[in-house]
Every structure is written in structure tokens, then in C-alpha cells.
Amino acid sequence: MLSHLLLGANNIAASRQFYDAMLGVLGAAPATHLQVNGFERYVWDHDGTRLMIATPRDGQPSTHYNGFTLGFKTTSIDQLHRALDAALAHGGVAIEDAPGWRRAPGNDRYLAYVRDPAGHKLCLMFREAWATSA
């Protein structure tokens, strides 16, 4: 359904370092740098998904969106915690409840929430079904 996600960043270098570190734990290669019509972007392609960061084209500051969460799939609880540690070591801020299980009938998942250097809300998620289907 989705082809890509693009997040705005006011400090694109700090955001690139943050995502290189966190997404590297999830298996993504370091970002590719692109110039598109005079605007720079960093791009990560992994498992059929493309994430990009860029400064806003309208010249206005980037802001995070209340009610928006970008979720990242992890293959284990260990990988989730390593990605969270990488995020926190590169300017991320832990938010909401502590990492752990959220249980619901047919919807058990292990979650951790962090804000990136630009303030975007991210969720790292593990489901046991993902580990058993691999």
C-alpha cells in the first residue's frame, strides 16, 4: 500500500546519524545521499520499504505531528533493545511507557517508543508470530 515515507528534519546531519545507527541494527545499510531539484535527502531502502529524511521544501521549520507514529518491525526483543539503545545514543529520547509487552487477545506485542532528533514519534515493535513465521 505505501511506497515510501518522508520525514522532515531541521538538522538533517543529526537525523541521518540517528537513523543510520538505529536502522543499521534492523539490517538496513547506511543512507544514500540524494540531491533532488536542489534539495538534499537521505534514503534508506530495506525489505521493500523506503524511508527518507529531508528539510522541508517550503523553507519552513520541520515539526513532528501529534497523533503520528512511525513503526519499525524488529525480529526479536534483543534486536528491539539494541535498536532502542542505538537510537538513544544518537539523540533519541525515550517516551511513553517503558519497553515491554502490551497484551491483548490475538495482539500481543513488545513495544518501545522513542522520539528522533526532529521530534518524530517512533515505535519499535516485536511480535512472536513474526519470529515463528521466518
Nearest 10 degrees: Cα torsion 44, 46, 48, 54: -10
Give the residue extent of every domain in the chain: 5-56+67-133
Q: Is the pTM of this model over 0.75?
A: yes
pLDDT in tens, 10-56: 999 999 999 999 999 999 999 999 987 888 899 999 999 999 999 98
pLDDT in tens, 85-105: 999 999 999 999 999 999 988
* Fold of the 5-56+67-133 domain: 2,3-Dihydroxybiphenyl 1,2-Dioxygenase; domain 1 (3.10.180)
Residue 133: which pLDDT band, with cuts at 50, 70 and 90?
low
